[in-house]
Amino acid sequence: MKKKQLFSYGLSMLAAVFAGGVVAQQADERYVQVAEIEIDPVQLDGYRAAVQEQIDAAIRKEPGVLVLYAVSEKDNPAHVKVFEIYRDRSAYEAHLGTDHFKKYKTTVEKMVKSLKLIQATPIVLGAQSK
């Protein structure tokens, strides 16, 4: 899946997940996290390939993974942020046990200089469906 397709898919998922009158109830159940990752700049291309493979597999294989976006800072591409939304905490925990996530962690272990996970509470999540 190409980056634009993945981005569009994620936006569509956000719209579908948070549409209608049940937004507050669903938002309370969601597990939302932001990962702040510093990558060894020399290994940035390898990291991008690994995170692409992992996100593609997670979106395709895990119904509890609703959104995964990986972006880098424009002026410092070695600083990566991954925005994650899971159906609930158990979907997040299941994600950590998948073969594709374990492969990703093993692959990027020496590429990642630092990792900070920030649990978040949704306030408002909006997206256009098209």
Q: pLDDT digits over 32-70, tens only?
A: 999 999 999 999 999 999 999 999 999 999 999 999 999
Q: Which pLDDT value is given to residue 127?
A: 78
- Domains and their CATH numbers in the chain: 3-16+29-120 (3.30.70.100)
Q: pLDDT digits over 97-128, tens only?
A: 999 999 999 999 999 999 999 999 988 888 78
**Is the predicted pLDDT of residue 20 greater than 50, yes or no?**
no
In the structure encoding, which two tokens stand for residue 121, read together?
């509470």
Beta carbons of 37 and 108 less than 8 angstroms apart? no
* pTM confidence score: 0.77
